[in-house]
Amino acid sequence: MKVHIIGGGNLGVAIAKGLSKFSQGNQITVTRRNTASILYLEQLGVTVSSDNTHQIQEADIIILTIKPYQVDTVLAEILPVISNKVIASAVSGLSIENLQNKIGDGNSAVRIMPNIASQFGASATCIAFHEKNKEKAQNTVALFKDLGTAPIIDEKLMDAATVLAASGTAFALRYIRASMQAGIEIGFDWQTALAISAQTVKGAAEMIMEEQIHPEQLIDRVTTPQGCTIAGLNEMEMHGFSSSLIRGIKTSLKQIKG
Ligand SMILES: NC(=O)C1=CN([C@@H]2O[C@H](COP(=O)(O)OP(=O)(O)OC[C@H]3O[C@@H](n4cnc5c(N)ncnc54)[C@H](O)[C@@H]3O)[C@@H](O)[C@H]2O)C=CC1
Ligand SMILES: O=C(O)[C@@H]1CCC=N1
């Protein structure tokens, strides 16, 4: 497939790198106004351009990884030269209806919410589209399946997906950082503490995905009666561990909904 990514920033670059490594048979173009900092992508076989319309007529999928306030400017550039294209937007808060109105009936809007782990083929990319665009959306679904998981969700959950799956990357990293900081306090250098914390989180996630059971069932296998794990967990909960995460996620959601 010919994939045209507009907005070579944090997310656009992560997707381009991920596609170049984990998805076969694609030709990838990434655009941004100032290309100097992403020219290195050409070594991965990715075309880099400052022209948003660069060979865009040949694209099978146009992916928007730009900020919400950049959308109208970009569409004004590309719409005069495209027709019958799938435009997959990762722009947070931009509804399918709004995007479809902007791009007209001649093109098809798909909403995607990847995260930066796309770069490592480990994103949880939620995808939504209107029923009439189901067929046309399948290429996008296939592409993001190569970059991790790609569940199709109801659009009304897209803001929730943004917070859980995209912002969620930062939340998980903050857990790892805190764990690392504790690791330093109890005797490790930061590199060793970080390596142990990250691997432990990876292991926990792998168990959940493999066994598909409730986390508490696995936690029960770790918490020896009168042991150190339950003592630590109870102390964390006393200080609002779970409730602070839940409150943070709900606050993020409020921020998107405005
Ligand atoms: N960073 C993340 O983890 C995620 C971001 N998103 C959404 O993706 C979008 C992009 O986010 P980031 O990558 O973090 O932002 P970013 O600021 O890193 O990337 C945006 C890129 O677009 C480029 N750009 C600006 N105007 C342009 C134009 N007229 N033509 C071409 N390129 C232009 C900028 O130079 C920049 O490189 C946002 O809407 C964000 O909400 C969604 C999921 C995850
Ligand atoms: O923080 C943000 O607004 C964007 C959307 C999700 C991840 N980054």
ipTM attached to this prediction: 0.99
From the alpha carbon of 169, which atom of ligand 2 is closest?
7
Ligand nearest to the CA of 167: 2
Write the residue with the smallest CA distance to atom 8 of ligand 2.
167
pLDDT computed for residue 257 by the predictor: 87
Determine the average pLDDT of the residues in 224-233. Answer: 98
Query: Which residues, in sequence order, are CB contacts of 48 under 8 Å at separation 6+?
Result: 8, 29, 30, 31, 35, 38, 39, 41, 42
Q: Model confidence at 256, in pLDDT bands (50, 70, 90)?
A: very high
Please state whether the predicted TM-score (pTM) of the whole model is above 0.90. yes
154: pLDDT strictly greater than 90: yes
pLDDT computed for residue 258 by the predictor: 84
Structure tokens at 52: 């948003």
Top mutation candidate among 123, 162, 169 for ligand 2, by most atoms within 8 Å of CB: 162
106: pLDDT strictly greater than 90: yes
Write the residue with the smallest CA distance to atom 35 of ligand 1.
32
Structure tokens at 157: 């959950």
Ligand nearest to the CA of 32: 1
Q: Model confidence at 113, in pLDDT bands (50, 70, 90)?
A: very high
Q: Mean pLDDT in the chain? A: 98
102: pLDDT strictly greater than 90: yes
